[in-house]
Amino acid sequence: MYNYDDAPIDECSAYTDKYVVIFGNGNAATELSTFIVEECAATRTWVIGRKVLTPSHMSHYVGNVRTHNMAVLESYQLKSLDVVTEESFTVAIDRKTLFDEDQTRDQAVYGSGDNIVVIYSGGFKTNDGVEIEVDGDKTTSIYKEDGLFKKRYLNLGSFNEIAASKDVYALGAISHGSDYKESSGGFVHGFRYTVETTMKFVAMKLKNRAWPYKVFRDEKEVEAYALARIQTSSALWHLQAFYGDVVIQPPGHPGVYLYIEQIPVSWELDVVSYNVVSDFQAKNKGNPMGTFNDWTITLENLLLKHFSTGEYLLNAELRSEMNVLRNCKTPKPKIKKQETQKQEDSTLIDSTSVTYLTFRSAYLIFLRGLRY
C-alpha cells in the first residue's frame, strides 16, 4: 500500500499485470491513474472517490480534474475493465497472500493478494503548528476553522492579509483560502494577479500611495473600455467571481468616471474606492468628499441577488434591469420585476448605472458556476 507521495511514478514494475486501486479522484489521483493506464499495462485500475469526479472545463475551476489527467475515463466501460466510481466506505487489508495457510486445502481469500496495489490519494492537511510572530507576539490561529476544509488554508481577508495578524500577508498558492473552489488564486495564472493587487494594497496602506486608476470624461469611452476589459482581461477571466473592475463618479465632477481595475469583489473594495476618490479630489480641487453613497455604488442588491444563482439572464431580463437602473435616482436601488417598459434610445451606461453595468456585463461571462 502506498500514499500518493511515495507511490512509484517513474517505473511500471509496481503496477504491470496487477489490480490497482486508487482512493481519491482529484488531480493527483487521476494524474497517477493516467500514468498507470497509458504506460504500465495494469490488469485493471480503479479510481474511487467520495464525490462525483468534476472536470475543470465544466466547473471553470482549475483545481478540479484537468482533461489531460482523465485517461481512465477514456477506458472506463469502453476499452477495458477500468473503473471510476464514487463510494464512501471503509476498507481493511488483512493479508498479503492469496490463500489462508491454516486451511487444509487452498481457499481463496477475496480482496487480498500480492497482485493488488492500493494507493491513497485523498487530499492533504496543512501543518497547523506554524507560528507567526508579529511585534513579539506569536499566534497559531491562522487557518480556517469552518467545515470540511478546516485548517487546510489560511484565514485571509480579500487582500490576502492574515486575519489573526493584520500586518502579515500571504502570497502565492498559500493564499488560495480566499477563493477556494471559486477561481484560480491558488495557481500561477491566478496568483500572479493577486500578488500584484496585494502589493498595491500594501503600498496604499503603508506608503499612503494612491491606487492606480484611469479617468474617463465620456460615457461611450468608459463603456467601450469596460467591454474591452471584459473580453480581454486575463485577471477577470481567471479570478471570476473574486476580482472585478469598479467605476466611480466623483461628486462635483459631472461626466467624469474613475475606472479601477482588478480589485477583490467584496465589501473591502470600499477602501480602495475611497482612496481613489480622495486622490482625484485632491488633484482636481473638487467638492468635499461627501458621504460614501454620494459617489459610488456598492455590490448590494443587484449583484448579490444574481451572483448566487449561477444562471444566465435572458436578454429581455437584462434589458429590463438596465431600464430600471436608468430610472433610478439613488445609488442603491431595489431591483424588482418590472412591467413592460418603453425602450429608450439612451446609451448603455449612464450616470446612475455605471458601476452596476460594469459588473453586470462581467456577470454574463465570468459568473461562478457558469456552464457552457
pLDDT value, residue 134: 64
CATH number of 2-120: 3.50.50
Written as one letter, the residue type at 97 is T
pTM over 0.85: no
Separation between Cα atoms, residue 288 and residue 264, nearest integer Å: 27
Phi and psi torsions of 23, nearest 5°: -95, 120
The closest of 74, 6, 23, 18 to 44, measured between CA atoms, is: 18
Per-residue pLDDT of the chain (372 residues; tens, 9 = 90+): 888 888 888 888 889 989 999 998 888 898 998 898 888 888 888 898 888 888 888 888 888 888 888 888 877 777 777 888 887 666 555 555 555 555 555 444 444 556 889 999 887 776 666 666 666 666 655 665 544 444 577 778 888 888 777 778 889 988 888 888 888 888 898 999 999 999 999 999 888 889 999 999 887 888 788 878 877 888 888 887 788 888 887 777 878 888 888 888 775 677 888 888 888 888 887 555 444 444 443 333 333 333 434 343 444 444 454 444 334 333 333 333 333 333 333 333 333 333 333 333 343 333 333 332
CA atoms of 190 and 176, how far apart (whole Å): 9
Question: What residue spans define the domains of the chain?
Answer: 2-120, 132-206, 214-366
pLDDT of residue 362: 40
Question: Exposed, middle or buried by CB within 10 Å (0-12, 13-18, 19+), for 191?
Answer: buried
Q: What is the pLDDT of residue 215?
A: 92
Element (H, E) at 224: helix 219-232
